[in-house]
Amino acid sequence: MRPLREILGDLRPTSEERVEHCLEGLYDPEQCACAHRGELGEREEAALEAERRRWAAAGDRPGSG
């Protein structure tokens, strides 16, 4: 029988999964309305887009995910 701590550890998302979830939330208008109603400045929008592209490229690399 496995200890409860091990079982719970298997259920927790990895750091990469948490980051992916956060980035998905930023690009979902229902979850993050502020990012979709023109409330972000040009610099913030550019930073978000750069981060999205960086993670998209990381997901395309062999051995990722």
Note the pLDDT tens digit of each residue in 7-53: 778 778 778 888 788 777 777 777 666 655 566 778 888 888 888 88
CB 25 within 8 A of CB 31: yes
Rounded distance, CA 32 to CA 45, Å?
13
pTM for this prediction: 0.41
What is the per-residue pLDDT for 60?
65
- CA neighbor of 48 nearest in space, from 36, 61, 63: 36
Q: Is the pLDDT of residue 58 over 80?
A: no
Domain ranges in the chain are: 15-60
What is the per-residue pLDDT for 62?
57
Chain mean position to CA 30: 15
